[in-house]
């Protein structure tokens, strides 16, 4: 087993209804990350949450909300995340971003089959 590499985990906490240029904001973030050749991005949809408005957003039938919490996670090197931040600043008008150092262990099964 290889030891972990140091990387940066960026999380953008936004709402499902947030938009940028006619696209859902989460999609615009992922497309920009791909365009910039970042290592990868994942979008997570939360069943319940609240933000600066203090209003509960939930998927429960009795309190149906279409603006569910969304988290976009991106992991890459410090240098790549630093390059991405100005574009993220342009894309986001509301929400919060967290950045933390993480250890990453990469697996590529195709390397083992050679």
Question: pLDDT for 35-63, tens place per residue?
Answer: 999 999 999 998 777 776 666 666 565 55
pLDDT of residue 54: 65
pLDDT of residue 104: 93
Tally of residues, the chain = 114
pLDDT of residue 50: 74
Measure the CA–CA gap between 67 and 84, rounded to whole angstroms: 25
Domain at 13-96, CATH class: alpha beta
Alpha carbon of 14 to those of 1, 48, 58, 68: distances in Å?
36, 13, 14, 9
Domain residue spans in the chain? 13-96
Intervals of the chain under pLDDT 50: none
pLDDT of residue 108: 79
Predicted TM-score (pTM) of this structure: 0.84
Measure the CA–CA gap between 57 and 63, rounded to whole angstroms: 8
pLDDT of residue 42: 97
Residue 24, beta-bridge partner list: 19
pLDDT of residue 3: 78
């Amino acid at each position: 087993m290889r030891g972990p590499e140091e990387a940066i985990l960026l999380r953008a906490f936004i709402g499902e209804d947030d938009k940028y240029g006619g696209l859902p904001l989460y999609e615009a973030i992922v497309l920009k990350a791909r365009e910039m050749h970042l290592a990868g991005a994942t979008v997570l949809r939360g069943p319940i949450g609240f933000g600066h408005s203090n209003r509960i957003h939930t998927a429960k039938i009795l309190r149906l909300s279409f603006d569910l919490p969304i988290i976009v996670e991106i992991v890459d090197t410090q240098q790549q995340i630093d390059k991405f931040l100005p574009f993220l600043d342009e894309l986001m008008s509301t929400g919060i971003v967290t950045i933390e150092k993480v250890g990453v262990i990469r697996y590529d099964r195709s390397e083992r089959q050679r």
